[in-house]
Every structure is written in C-alpha cells, then in structure tokens.
Amino acid sequence: MSTVLILADFSGDHATKTTAELATAAARIGSVSAVVLAPAGKGAALAATVNQGPISNVIVIESNDFASHGVAAVADALAGVVKDKSPAALLIASHAFGKEVAARVAVLTESGIITDAVDVAADATATQLVFGGSTTVHSQVSQGTPIITVRPNSIDADVSAASPAIENATAAISDIAKKATIASSQPPVKGGRPELTEANIVVSGGRGTDGNFSAVEAFADLLGAAVGASRAATDAGWYPHSHQVGQTGKTVSPQLYVACGISGAIQHRAGMQTSKTIVVVNKDPEAPLFDIADFGVIGDLFNVLPQATAAVAAKKG
C-alpha cells in the first residue's frame, strides 16, 4: 500500500483536530505517515499527541532551525521526507502557514500543488470551491507528488484512537533556508475561545453591531464558539482583522455559523457559505444572507441575542 504523508498540525504542544481530518482524507489514498517537526528534545512529547485518526506511522524530526528559520526550514525538512518516501500525496492544513509550506515544498520537489481543498478522493483528486463558492472544481496534480492543502473542518475526522509506530529521522536544512532568522516571536494571546478556522460553532457580528460585540460574545461564549466579524466591522476597528470572515479574511466551515447584523455580501459569503448550518439574525427581511440561511430571525440583534443566550442557558441548566 502506498504511503501518504500529512504534516501534523499543532496548536501549542498538542496536535489539532485538523491533524485527524488530514489523516482521514489521506487514508483514502494510502497508509498514513504523519510528519512531526519539533524543537530539539520535544519530538516525543509532540508525537504522543498525534493519537487520533487512521495514522500508522509518525516520522519525528527534531531541529531548532524550525523555530529560528521558520517556514523555509520546515519546507526543507518536509521536502527531504517527500524525496525519501516518494509518497502518493502530501496533505497539509490550509491555513496561511500550511499554504506557504506547501508552496515551498512544491518548488523544492518540482511537484504540483492544489490549495484550499474541501475534499480529497482516493485517487488524490481534490475538490475546491471557487468564485466565492459558486463553482466546484475537481482537479489532480499531474507532476511530481500531489501536494494538497485541506481546509480545516471540511472533512469528517475519524477520531478513533491511534497508536502509530514512531520513526525518528533527521533533516538537512540548507544554507538558503537559513538566510532569514526569526529574531523574536510571541504566541498570540489566547482567550478562552476556540481558533476561528477550527471552531465547531462561529458567531459573527457585522455593521449591525454598531461596534458593540458584547451580545455576540456572550452568545458565543455560552455556545463555546469562536467570534467572527464582517469586514465592515474589522475595517471600522470594532474587531481585530484576524477575526474577519470572508474573501479577504478567513474561511470557516463550522457545524453552525450564526451571522448577526451582517447583510451577506458575496465577499462575506465566500468565507462561510460551506458552514453546515447557517443562522441569520438581521432586522432587514431583505438581507441577502437570508437566501442561504437554514434558520433566520428577523429582528434587532440586541433583542434577539440576549433572549437566545438566556434560552440556551436555561436549557443547559
């Protein structure tokens, strides 16, 4: 059976759910090896958290170059594994870091790349949604190793327990990859909320909040949801740009997306319309986002959200 590589995805010192999603997609193609790129001395601990999904093997490479030289060193190491294993495909999480790694590995291995896949078939055909989600494209890489980045939350992850074999390997990091050195870095300040692109529930606010996100945040916190925002809200400085959902923001595909005071411009829809269930709260019955809503509430979000929050809280006991 052919080997399929995935680049294990981490949040802090734990593999994310996205790692299991990548493994689930990769297992359709072949036997899954997860690559763990770790700082010196941390490989075993990180590899131990790669314990969900159909993963038969974990390849651990330790190097402090990953922290000091960033994406270039990561791509060098991963390209080395690709050249060594000749996998049937390499799957990487489709966030900014993952896409940059994928692009660099594609260049280093003279391979084709497909980004932002929402599905991957057994023959490594990738499915993408383009033109704001209005068109579905199926494509295959025709040269080298298919390198595919997969959007978090697009694949139903097999999260059954895995006890993969551990393989230690080394990487040769080129001088070119070391030309830029990261002088200092600071992890983002994490609130109690989940990461936007990985969250099962996202509650977003738009211009209709008039800059007051308290009702949106209270509802989100009760549901254990991430908070998103339209570009109108982020451009106004009401919410950080890192929370913007849409064409020029993040793409989310949660189980539940609650849009509050957001009209539904095509650029916003592009970032959320693959959500499994869409709830819209808007006081304008003609708001275009109602067209793709599974459940709509016509009303003022400052009336609706506190009532919804109270009702859910009562239900939760």
Ligand X SMILES: Cc1cc2nc3c(=O)[nH]c(=O)nc-3n(C[C@H](O)[C@H](O)[C@H](O)COP(=O)(O)OP(=O)(O)OC[C@H]3O[C@@H](n4cnc5c(N)ncnc54)[C@H](O)[C@@H]3O)c2cc1C
Q: Looking at 134, 140, 170, 248, which residue binds ligand X (CB under 6 A)?
A: 248
Instruction: Please work out the total of residues on this chain that contact ligand X, with binding judged by CB under 6 A.
Output: 28
CB 227 within 8 A of CB 202: yes
Q: Looking at 7, 252, 301, 308, which residue binds ligand X (CB under 6 A)?
A: 301
Does 302 help bind ligand X (rule: CB under 6 A)?
yes
Cβ neighbours for 163, distance < 8 A, ≥ 6 positions apart: 51
Measured distance CA(197)–CA(190) in Å, rounded:
14
The smaller minimum CB distance to ligand X, of residues 97 and 302, is found at 302
Q: Looking at 208, 273, 280, 293, which residue binds ligand X (CB under 6 A)?
A: 208
Count of CA atoms in the C-beta half-sphere (13 A) of 151: 22
Q: Looking at 22, 102, 202, 262, which residue binds ligand X (CB under 6 A)?
A: 262
- Tell me the angle at which helices 65-85 and 96-109 cross, rounded to the nearest 10 degrees: 50
The smaller minimum CB distance to ligand X, of residues 22 and 262, is found at 262
Measured distance CA(83)–CA(71) in Å, rounded:
18
Measured distance CA(121)–CA(188) in Å, rounded:
35
Measured distance CA(238)–CA(205) in Å, rounded:
10
- Minimum CB distance to ligand X, residue 308 (Å): 13
Read off the tokens for 40.
């010196």
Q: Looking at 54, 133, 194, 206, which residue binds ligand X (CB under 6 A)?
A: 206
Stretch that binds ligand X, among 42-50, 51-59, 141-149, 204-212 (CB under 6 A): 204-212
Q: Looking at 132, 267, 279, 309, which residue binds ligand X (CB under 6 A)?
A: 267
The smaller minimum CB distance to ligand X, of residues 92 and 245, is found at 245
Stretch that binds ligand X, among 47-55, 57-65, 133-141, 239-247 (CB under 6 A): 239-247
- Minimum CB distance to ligand X, residue 252 (Å): 11
Stretch that binds ligand X, among 29-37, 52-60, 83-91, 206-214 (CB under 6 A): 206-214
Taking only Cα atoms into account, the Rg of the chain, rounded to an integer number of angstroms, comes to 21
DSSP one-letter code for 155 = S
Does 263 help bind ligand X (rule: CB under 6 A)?
yes
Does 300 help bind ligand X (rule: CB under 6 A)?
yes
Read off the tokens for 22.
């990548």
CB 215 within 8 A of CB 306: yes
